[in-house]
Each structure stands twice: as C-alpha cells, then as structure tokens.
Amino acid sequence: MLFRIESAAVQSLIETLRQRKYTVIGPTQRGGSIVYDEIASSDDLPAGWGDEQRPGYYRVHKRTDNAWFSFAVGPQSWKKFLFPPVYTLFTALRRPKGFSVPKTNGQDKDKSREKLAFIGVRACELKAIEIQDKVFTSRTYQDPNYRKLREQLFIVAVNCSSPAETCFCASMGTGPKVTGSFDLAMTEILDGNDHYFVVEAGSQRGEKILETIQRRPADPAEVSKAGAVVTEAQSRIKRSVDTAGIKDLLCQNSDHPEWDKVGERCLSCTNCTMVCPTCFCTTIEDSTNLSGSEAIRSRRWDSCFTMDFSYIHGGSIRSSTKARYRQWMTHKLASWIDQFGTMGCVGCGRCITWCPVGIDITDEARVIRENNHVEQ
C-alpha cells in the first residue's frame, strides 16, 4: 500500500524514531562531500545538494531545488555503523598467573548506540547490507555485534532520482529501484512547490512506525510520478557490467595481459576497499597499556591491497600490485559467488569515483571479456 507523506512528515518520522531510542543516521553535507552521520532533524539532511562523480572525481554542488536525496552515494557506506572500522574484541587482564578475558567488553557497554535507524538507504546499499548479512550472520562463525545491530536496525530506504555517472546498479541487478528487506521505502517527489514522498512499508515494524505519522493513500498520479522517478533514474545509468558467466570469465583469465596493465596504474592505496560497501576484510591488532596490566585486542578494517595482507613466513603470496588488484576484482565479481551465492559488487560506483587514478571496474571487466583468453 503506497502512501503520500509531506516532507514535514519526515521530521515526524525522525522524531518518532528518536523517541523510540533509535540513533537516527542519515546523509548530511559536510566538508565537501555527503556523509552519513547521526542526524537530529530533517534540517540536517543535505537539502539542495547534488553530486557529480567520474573516475577519480567527486564534487558536491548546490542545486536549484531543495531535494533532500538528489545525490547518488558519498564516500562512506552504511557498513561503518554495522561493522565498525575499529572494534574492540576484548580486553584481557593480566593476573598473577596468566591472564583472563572478562565477559563483557567496553564497546558493548554503550547500549545507547545499539538501536540504529538509517534514513536514505539506496537500492544498491540495501543489497550491500544484505550481502554483508550473509558474510557476518549466515555461516558457521558469526559476528555477534553485527548480528545484534542488524536485528534492531530500522531501514528507511530511498529510491534514487539522480544516479551518478559512475553508477552501474542496473546491470548488477541491484537497482535503481529499492527491493529487499527494508522497513520503509520512500520516493522523493518535487512538483512545483510540492515536496512530498510516496512511501510504503516493507515490514511490520515499518507499518507500525508509518502509522504514527501523518499520511494518506497515494493517488494514481502520485504513484505514477514515483514510478517515473525510478524509470528516469534507470535511463540515466550509463555504465554497466555484463555479468553473464563472469565467474568463469575471471577465473579462467588469471593470466590476461589486462591485469598487468591495471597493475601498473593501481597505487594499492586501498581507497576502493575502504569505500566499498561490501568489502569485509579485517586485521587484528594487539596493544597493551604501559604497565601491561591490560591487553586490548581490536579488529580493524583491512584491505587485500596491502603488501602484508597475504604474508606468511618467507614472504607475501601476492607481492605484486597486479596480483592484488586481480585478487580484489576476482573476489568481488567471481569468487564471491562460490562463497556466498551472489556477486559481492552492487554497482554503487564508489570504487571508480574514489580511485585516485580512476580505475574503472566496469572497464576492466569489459576489456577482459572482449579479449577473452580462455586458459587451457
């Protein structure tokens, strides 16, 4: 059932969520980009801000309207909230004999940050969350912190109206229309002075929240306008990846000369893995206080592009940049399928935008496919 809510109702939505102890996180314009952070009201939303993205290029600019969601995606993804960049696993305490690991760790004591609400999750980002759900909560060993946050997470998804040049969700089957496990999904409509949203609930939780804000059933014209936003967005998506048989294509072309070429351009700066909403590699670090009475073990984001990512005694398995780029891209588009049943890429385009040398994953996939050397 589709409803129309006025833009002012978004403020009510935020307030209702906050009353129910949700930490509301949404997009906001800061420091030359649009980032995700805690927001207190709809005033914090990036009204009138748009973005322009190209390989190795990102700028925000003021638009002539006051749309809240007329940008694509910023450098950050929602993963930083569900899967924090630095996370304390435990603090071990030295004892007269040996050490002990107490039952709670510091991070978990902060109950106030456990109920999260995301406002403005795009179709590709929703798919990315679902992909990380598989990584962290569907296998033998799971991330209990992710699971806990995810179970309580309230998702307000938003359909894209302004995809960037670097977006390629359509060919990846992840967008631009929002589908999947959202609580509410909205499409922003600006029609002259009219600023409203066509919204639907995707869960019982979503329905309950929707009941608390002022709304009326959307009329056919409004529904049609909402559909047009999606269609228009779809038509503006320029890039694509031909994913037919991509698993075999990449696995069978591990000696393709294109890997050497891209290996020469790649700086192994790890930007792509940091901005990617599905990358999940981590490393573990140990530190002690000065007296040694406490030893903290923390988990932090890592990247397969670092030189020592694959280090075993004697040296790194992937010491060349070429091998590391190949690992990342093959994992993202091919091995992920064997591991988790889907590709790891959602076509958000961040890796293309934020690569300092503008390496374009869609281009790389195309070149390899066009000059397919099937290996013996």
Partner 1 sequence: MESLEPILTSHPFFRDLDQKYVHLVTGCASNVRFDAGKFVFREGEEAQHFYLIRQGKVAIEIFTPHRGHITIETLDEGNILGWSWLIPPYLWHFDARALETTRAIALDGKCLRKKCEEDHDLGYEFLKRFAHIMEQRLTSTRIQLLDVYDVHA
Partner 2 sequence: MHEGTVETLDSAASPMIPQPFVIRNIRRETEDTFTMELEPETSGVLCSFAPGQFNMVYVYGVGEIPISISGDPGNTHSVVHTTRAVGTVTKVMDKLKKGDFVGIRGPYGVPWPLQEAVGKDVVIVAGGIGLAPLRPALYSILKEREKYGKVVLLYGTRTPSDILFREELERWRSRFDLDVFVSVDRAVSGWKGNVGVVTNLISKSPFDPHNSLSMICGPEVMIRFTVMELIRRGVDPSQLFISMERNMKCGVGLCGHCQFGHYFVCEDGPVFRYTDIKDMLVKWEI
Q: Using CB under 8 A, list all residues that contact partner 2.
A: 89-90, 92, 94, 97-101, 103-105, 108, 111, 114, 135-136, 139-145, 147-148, 251, 254-255, 280-284, 286-288, 292, 295, 297, 299, 302, 304, 308-313, 317-320, 322-323, 327, 331, 334-339
Main-chain dihedrals φ then ψ at residue 123, nearest 5 degrees: -55, -45
The vertex-3 CA angle with 196 and 12, nearest 5°, equals 60
Report the nearest approach of partner 1 to the CB of residue 311 (Å): 12
Residue 310 binds: one of partner 1, partner 2, none (C-beta under 5 to 8 A by kind): partner 2
Report the nearest approach of partner 2 to the CB of residue 198 (Å): 36
Instruction: Answer whether 185's CB lies under 8 Å from 154's CB.
Output: no
Residue 311 binds: one of partner 1, partner 2, none (C-beta under 5 to 8 A by kind): partner 2
Question: b/e for 90-107, b at 16 or more Cβ within 10 A?
Answer: bbbeeeeeeeeeeeebeb
Residue 115 binds: one of partner 1, partner 2, none (C-beta under 5 to 8 A by kind): none
DSSP 103: S
Report the nearest approach of partner 2 to the CB of residue 37 (Å): 24
Nearer to partner 1, 88 or 316 (CB): 316
Report the nearest approach of partner 1 to the CB of residue 316 (Å): 12
Residue 327 binds: one of partner 2, partner 1, none (C-beta under 5 to 8 A by kind): partner 2
Report the nearest approach of partner 1 to the CB of residue 49 (Å): 53
- Say how many C-beta atoms besides its own lie within 10 A of residue 32's C-beta: 9
Is residue 151 packed enough to be buried (19+ CB in 10 Å), middle (13-18) or exposed (0-12)?
Answer: exposed
Nearer to partner 1, 217 or 315 (CB): 315
Report the nearest approach of partner 1 to the CB of residue 319 (Å): 12
For the record, the structure tokens of 260 come out as 């050497």
CB proximity list for 260: less than 8 A, separation 6 or greater: 322
Helix axes 321-330, 361-370, angle to 10 degrees: 90
Residue 141 binds: one of partner 2, partner 1, none (C-beta under 5 to 8 A by kind): partner 2
Nearer to partner 1, 97 or 313 (CB): 313
Euclidean distance between CA atoms 148 and 137, whole angstroms = 10
| Half-sphere exposure (Cβ direction) of 205: Cα atoms closer than 13 Å | 15
Euclidean distance between CA atoms 240 and 230, whole angstroms = 17
Nearer to partner 2, 30 or 139 (CB): 139
Instruction: Answer whether 90's CB lies under 8 Å from 297's CB.
Output: yes
Residues that bind partner 1 in the complex, under the rule CB under 8 A? 313-315
Report the nearest approach of partner 2 to the CB of residue 4 (Å): 38
Nearer to partner 2, 223 or 323 (CB): 323
Nearer to partner 1, 173 or 315 (CB): 315
DSSP 106: G
Residue 315 binds: one of partner 1, partner 2, none (C-beta under 5 to 8 A by kind): partner 1
Residue 122 binds: one of partner 1, partner 2, none (C-beta under 5 to 8 A by kind): none
Report the nearest approach of partner 1 to the CB of residue 313 (Å): 5
- Say how many C-beta atoms besides its own lie within 10 A of residue 255's C-beta: 10
Residue 335 binds: one of partner 2, partner 1, none (C-beta under 5 to 8 A by kind): partner 2
In the chain, count H helices and then E strands: 14, 16
